[in-house]
Structure 1
């Protein structure tokens, strides 16, 4: 998965990305790189911005599903890959 950092990501770009997946695949929003949370989508709306240019808005449904999976945050470039720390369940290390 490639990070989408450009403000010029267009409807054409979105259609191209979506054309390669099963149309019945659920779509989620990954919000906030510092506390990544997964949200459901209510709608996609086209409306003019403050300058009269057409803009496509992906509208959140206000339902949070929980943390974004680590693989998504890494692929988006939000976090570095990490591993869960190992736990020592044996004897306490000698001092």
Structure 2
């Protein structure tokens, strides 16, 4: 059965395709998507004794940056693409 958790190697592989100078942020909460700055990487063990790596946000009040950009929430499948409302058909002056 394949693991549902992303491994460190898979994360490295995914990050290898990204701009190395880009800041790293974490998208959190699919119902009210927010973005956070990552500040720490910590390795520990879980209750079953397996090694786990945690990516943590910073501890200051500026770590939560705000609402996640809508295009990111769409790419994560947390939101559906939003279509603009239909525009009413224009008529000539006098309503014709």
TM-score bucket (shorter structure): 0.7 to 0.9
| Moved segments of 4+, more than 6 Å | none
- For 2:10 and 2:4, the matched residues in 1 are separated by 12
Other structure's SS at 1:51 match: coil
Other structure's SS at 2:58 match: strand
How far 1:30 sits from its partner (Å)? 0.5
Higher relative contact order (CA 8 A, sep 6+): 1
Query: Is 1:26 the equivalent of 2:35?
Result: no
* Structure 2: gaps spanning 5 or more residues: 89-96
Higher-Rg structure is 2
* Structure 1: gaps spanning 5 or more residues: 1-5, 89-95
TM-score by length of 1: 0.78
How far 1:87 sits from its partner (Å)? 8.3
Aligned partner of 1:51 in structure 2 is 48
Other structure's SS at 2:11 match: helix
For the aligned residues, what is the CA RMSD? 1.8
- For 1:10 and 1:79, the matched residues in 2 are separated by 26
Aligned partner of 1:77 in structure 2 is 77
- Report the count of equivalent residues: 83
Other structure's SS at 1:44 match: strand
